[in-house]
Chain A
């Protein structure tokens, strides 16, 4: 305890000095504050405001989603010839012809650009072992091509570094699609399918593939050793690893409209091995809206939340009218509820 240790007489100097704390709103805990109380009025108002905002947003995004036309075609099973279906893995690893023909019918008019995706399922591109198996510095600049520590087990071949190294690049998706409408080939534009930032900053313009897919096992697609990585957009797209084991990746875009009822022939090369882990492969053609692809979820969520809020506002209003609780009713105080107030 500070200076009132000494009696008044023994410390005359001490007593003259006031120890009165200085007033401040902070120390007296009197800072101006807003004290919101959830009164029925406020609660109902909040719910109404939310529903008023959310329902239109839901409608808008649902409309956007409804505009999108999407064709999905699963081909992993059908593209294996019937005799080989008993052992698909052997088929896909064998040397036989992998080409396969699919026919798609356009259900609705699709305006250009129409995006071509491949969709893989049960493919854990987000597996820890997989995600970390890459070297960003190697991808960006030539001088870092020896930074391959993270890339195991696909880091080098006979001591020479692989560019691009790692499991991700190694397992590059290599099915190809050739589309045609009424025997007229549809051009699939494969430029500009990757995010610009990836293309320009993460993959070097002067980095070229080296020693790629020259190991014992071939994991997937090969790369043109004469094209720099920043031009290999398939690789760039592939290497932006997906968040979930079911994912889509952009393959290319068709820059012409498709009419309703158009038949589209797809000639695809079924090279990619998803059979060893029961992965599914799908081909997707889709248009987009300003909000992106087919995405009913967002609209439904907005509508549901808005609807629930409206409903709750209604329920609470009715409840308030039917069985009101007076605000600040002292009978609700615990010491008034229990007779005698307890001990």
Chain B
């Protein structure tokens, strides 16, 4: 980015940096006005500056900060703050309850939360630590231990005149270090010299950005000599550079050596987290250490999203709070009316304030009641849900064998546990096609050279079409010994094994193969033999092309910055092998705007050739005139390949004479020559889900006459206007038509196909609404050739416009924006690097695992969380309502009904565990049935289990049960309750009610469970037992402390009567009977879908179901895929299937919408920083 040649003016340096859009993340670093000056190889001079050490700590807390920091985090939750307030209130005399009532559950919740935090901090593996030490591939490295082992790994530094190994943590700024091949850089290092000629080295940055291809770094020529210790010890440079910051791709500074100022660029900076490749060793000077390294300053977790359900939960909590206030208000009004100054036994004196002011009585009673009814707010709800979700994601999703991909050895990964239930409510899925659906398995499959088509493979789609037409496809016998390896699935006797020399135009073939071998950015690794070499490619198609060249006898085996070495066989005559070194003069890398890649190389004999590959339309435009027939035939071939489902790419070359080349160095010229194309196989597995047979398709494209006219006139503004009008017309027309179909019952399913260029105009604010309503009327929408930004825009259009839950799935850097824009982002942890995964909420290895993730895990999570929330709501409401009813009979004085400890332990102890078990093990139907009846998923989309109606049902149940518990006991316990005529007091009655309540509420769990494991029995039984044991102990002890021993001996008194057992049977039974009848009526007359499915399969055990399904899906993947493809509609339009997409409309949109278009969409954390930053102001 910005490179400053001098850093003398400090302020100007920092000023200059601001306008450039650097990649900054997280909190903005305080930009110290000064620059950093490092004296290399001179620890004493660096001393006064006190640079930070190189030891790192990735733990969130340490021993000292844990408590304050952790508590602070906890009190950011509103429920905890609320309870803190209530606890303070309960310290005052207006409280009817002792502080313990509120303090105990609060401290319990805090304790559990803190333990969870500590546990996570201790054992979880954050992205950071992997970034720092991926060599330890232990999945769950203890964070702390990980830090320790990183800090203690050794590196060699220069001391005196020799290399001395020291641990990383002792490394200091300014040290001269030596890094050997494959080692990780211990800090950010200024690259001085390398064993490679030309002062270059290769680094792998996969841990930083996920890109697996090697990058080249180049040292300043002035420092190349400082390689051996004797020489290096003489190096006394002074580095002036920017302050530590989190921008990975910028670095500005100067190196002052012997009064000479040399500018430094990111090319000379080796970042911590990267590793050295293909270089014996390098020498460098440490610039940034420890937490000041760029990777550490980038260290942050994925930004957290909150699930929609949780937001609805907030609304529920607010409603509960309103209910609480209403209850308190009723009580306060009641109290101010009822309080009778003549109640002699209350001992009210004329001097008491209570004697005079009814308003004051009401006011204080209000707060009294708030503390009393505080149990209505489910304080442990959030922590329980968190625990449940945590276990769901770490134990269930991450460990699901159905989502483990053996080939790539990748299990599923939930990167956040916040969104589990969101997976159960997804309504719109946005999928990237390239790579995600197609899995990015690129193979060289067919080619057409000079108008002749080669390759005898039959694609899936061709087979599918043939099958549908009733033709039998003859699998051509593969010639024996046909080569098949990763990336290569080509067989044609006319080309293989040197046979191409007998083809009509062998020179053309030769050029094609050379183009394949030379025109790319692949780096070879490993042994230089055809069998063992490994190609490091930025994308799988590049690797496939080089592999193809290898198999045609043009083996690319070595690359230096200026040369490509190719071992060519069969060039002159059979069996001859010759190594050729091509000097690479220019490389024009591929980008989405140019849609092509070019290389200019010089043959050993001095011949200058330009090789070019790219999209058909781009290449065709640039072809030399003439050869129209070849051009025509080739285009036909392209269309044929395209309709067979192949991706295509065109290759071309041009011989250059030196004069032309020299002038070309200034500008880009057109190439001429024959043209060839080659194909890649498209693995079309899931496309069948997108477009069904009977769909009517709207295809909106910009190819209309009006536009062509405008284009001919060349008026840019006019073009834009015309296209916009055209798109508008088309959209309106389609919408009308679509709505027409919507009204007919059995209309065809609709699909919309729109290309990126039209989308650009359709996303215009004035057309957005139309586009949205049209899209929502369609079953599927296919957006082709769209930019990452457009992907994100479409996603957020639906997310915000339709207010539905969206999911984005993608695998590549271009999907990052889309993944982050949706409610749930899924990354495919596959071929295209880590960018998508790093930005995602869940990572799966294969697209097909989405089925399990959504239909099984998502649906269950949604169901479970809903039930847990409802149950919490119910149990707290029931409990508090009994208290509320009692208040009416105490003259609204706010007397507590239950003992302090009963009330405080009710939430955290006597009813806590069964609900967690419910949240973990609840299943309505088994996993196989979930997948067999995908329609069940609609219950989540409709939000069937978390509607206000459901809340009302639970609230009614709570009111009913609390009334039963309260009224039955108080009514029946009025007279003598045993044969010796004794009477119950207040605490006897309340303890009896409490016992009934604990039993009823716990057994309710069993009634609402669809799947009752032994853990249900254990926790439900255990909770009731825990209550009884607690009661026995608590009622049996007296303390010397001054307290009201209200419940002393109460439980024993209760248990000595028959009456106790009679009520204990009656009341829970009556309470639950109401719910039981409701459930039965609902199931019988208004059954949920899952209930019907349960009934259909009621006689099957789980295992038999799985087997059954297995048999039903007996199709092999091949067959299934063929079948699916045969279901596809016939090819209507001709397309050529260009392999790359992403036209560069970003900048256009950026300027239009004031949105910052990402230059590199893959930057993980940038989004987060953008989020926290205010929106970039419109220009």
Q: Which residues of A contact B (CB under 8 A)?
A: 1-11, 13-15, 17-23, 26-40, 43, 46, 50, 54, 57, 61, 113, 115, 117, 123-137, 140, 144, 147, 149-150, 153-154, 167, 170-171, 192-193, 195, 197-198, 201-202, 219-220, 237, 240-250, 253, 273, 276-277, 286, 288-295, 297-298, 301-302, 305, 308-309, 312, 316, 325, 327-330, 332-335, 339-341, 343
Contact = CB atoms under 8 A, between A and B. Distances in A.
Contact of A127 (B890, B1069, B1080, B1096): B890
B1040 A1 contact: no
Contacts, number: 351
A144 B1038 CA distance: 14
Nearest to A294: B975
A11 B347 contact: no
A328 B536 CA distance: 56
A295 B976 CA distance: 8
Contact of B525 (A9, A61, A113, A248): A9
Contacts of A34: 1011-1013
Interface residues of B, number: 131
A38 B1080 contact: yes
Nearest to B969: A243
A17 B406 CA distance: 12
Nearest to B1039: A137
A210 B1062 CA distance: 43
Contact of A31 (B746, B921, B973, B1069): B921
B975 A339 contact: no
Nearest to A31: B1013
Nearest to A28: B401
A334 B978 CA distance: 56
Contacts of B1070: 301, 305
A21 B399 CA distance: 5
Contacts of B1038: 140, 201
Given A20-B409, A241-B985, A301 B401 contact: no
A35 B1011 contact: yes
Contact of B206 (A5, A147, A297): A5
Contacts of B976: 115, 117, 248, 250, 286, 288, 292-293
A277 B978 contact: no
Interface in B875-901: 889-891, 893-896
B890 A277 contact: no
Nearest to A8: B534
B1069 A249 contact: no
20 contacts: A1-B130, A1-B827, A6-B212, A9-B525, A11-B135, A27-B395, A27-B396, A28-B400, A39-B1098, A124-B346, A124-B893, A130-B346, A144-B1042, A170-B345, A244-B974, A248-B974, A248-B983, A250-B981, A286-B975, A297-B968
B745 A328 contact: no
A305 B837 CA distance: 59
B260 interface: no
Nearest to A342: B938
A31 B134 CA distance: 35
A128 B890 contact: yes
Contacts of A130: 345-346
Contact of A17 (B137, B415, B1014, B1048): B137
Interface string B1073-1096: 100110110011001010111111
A291 B1059 contact: yes
B344 interface: yes
A247 B983 CA distance: 9
Nearest to B742: A343
A5 B130 CA distance: 9
The 8 closest A-B pairs by CB, nearest first: A293-B976, A328-B1095, A293-B975, A328-B1096, A197-B1049, A115-B981, A3-B137, A240-B985
A57 B340 CA distance: 43
Nearest to B893: A128
B1152 interface: no
A135 B1096 contact: no
Contacts of B1013: 31-34
Interface centre among A11, A29, A291 (most CB of B within 10 A): A29
Contacts of B1093: 328, 333
A35 B1049 contact: no
B423 interface: no
A219 B345 contact: yes
Nearest to A123: B345
B451 interface: no
B420 to A, nearest CB: 13
A292 B395 contact: no
Given A6-B134, A195-B1049, A292-B1059, A20 B411 contact: yes
A292 B1011 CA distance: 42
Contacts of A28: 399-401
Contacts of B134: 3, 5-6, 11, 14
Contact of A19 (B411, B979, B1044, B1087): B411
Contact of B137 (A11, A144, A293): A11
A288 B342 CA distance: 36
A128 B976 CA distance: 25
B895 A292 contact: no
B935 A333 contact: yes
A135 B1044 CA distance: 7
A202 B395 CA distance: 52
Contacts of B979: 288-290, 292
Given A28-B401, A37-B1098, A247-B983, A57 B1065 contact: yes
Contacts of A136: 1042-1045, 1048
Contacts of A20: 401, 404, 406, 409, 411
B970 A244 contact: yes
B1120 interface: no
Interface in B1043-1069: 1043-1045, 1048-1049, 1052-1053, 1057-1059, 1062-1063, 1065-1066, 1069
A20 B398 CA distance: 10
Contact of A245 (B368, B891, B968): B891
A30 B396 CA distance: 11
Given A57-B1065, A291-B1059, A250 B1092 contact: no
Nearest to A248: B983
Most buried by A among B1012, B1044, B1057: B1044
